[in-house]
Structure 1
Amino acid sequence: MKENFISMPIILKCITIHAVACFMFLVGSVVPHDNFSINGQSITYSEWWFSGAGFSAFIMGLFMPFAAWHILNKTKYSRHIYISMLFSSLSVPYLFYDQPNAVIYNLIITGIICWYLFGNKSAAAYFVSRT
């Protein structure tokens, strides 16, 4: 896996590091503390979960490291898994909390990353050169 990480294009390295680091979202969401904030406003633990942010962070923290593992191992569907996890954690929770602007914004982000993973020549070459 170390060799695969070294051979990644720089943006793909950032995506992979982000996916691994998302584990902290899981920890931060399930361990109650008083340092939650949304749009700069301090909120309680229950407000964090009620707003949808807690669920989204939990899902992202649970599944994104799984997606990073697939990217690092260049599995056949690693890009699909990453995009599915990103979409699931960023967009789907906001559908349940009636926040269409957040869904649209997150779909745009997911679309840009999807374009990079599948459309960028150096990123596509990384996944084609399976070891």
Structure 2
Amino acid sequence: MPGLLKMLTAMGFGMLAWVVASVFSGGLSIFGQNVSTSDWWESGAGFLCLPAALLMAGSAILMLCRSRYGRPAHIAGWVAINMAVFIGIKRIGIHSSMFIPAMSFNAALIVGISLYLYLSKSIRNYFLAVTD
């Protein structure tokens, strides 16, 4: 497995760990503003992030299995987690002045990840050994 793909796979599991940790932590820091765990979950933000994080973890498993569905699931997971976080942030009332720069950066990140997953020769070779 290529090095950057290992990191993306670990990040897939990391997203789920972040959501699970938000249940037990004392709070979150989002754009430098502290949000209590109860506010995060009572607003529904945590429940929005949970399915997206499960999708990310599922995509990580698919990529480990070299499934042809791993790459599109991973990209969909990135889109879903970013949308869930930004919708959640609006629900808990964080000022939206950071939304445009952050969303622009995340959109560029998703495009970059997508290009890497589909245009990299080492990634194509990794997924050539499809087992499903």
TM-score (norm 1): 0.75
Secondary structure, counterpart of 1:71 in structure 2: helix
Mapped partners of 2:31, 2:81: distance in 1: 19
CA-CA distance at 1:37 after TM superposition:
1.3
Structure 1: gaps spanning 5 or more residues: 1-7
TM-score (norm 2): 0.75
User: Which of structure 1's runs of 4+ aligned residues deviate more than 4 A?
Assistant: 49-52
Identical columns (%): 28
CA-CA distance at 1:128 after TM superposition:
1.7
Q: Taking structure 1 as reference, are residues 86 and 114 closer, same or farther at Cα in structure 2, changes over 3 Å only?
A: same
Mapped partners of 2:84, 2:2: distance in 1: 29
Instruction: Calculate the aligned-residue CA RMSD, in Å.
Output: 2.6
Mapped partners of 2:100, 2:39: distance in 1: 19
The equivalent position to 2:54 in structure 1, one of 62, 69, 82, is 62
The amino acid that maps onto 1:61 is: A
Indicate the residue corresponding to 2:26 in structure 1. Answer: 34
Pair 1:11 & 2:4 matched: yes
- Does the 8 A contact of 2:49 with 2:84 survive in 1? no
Q: Taking structure 1 as reference, are residues 55 and 108 closer, same or farther at Cα in structure 2, changes over 3 Å only?
A: farther
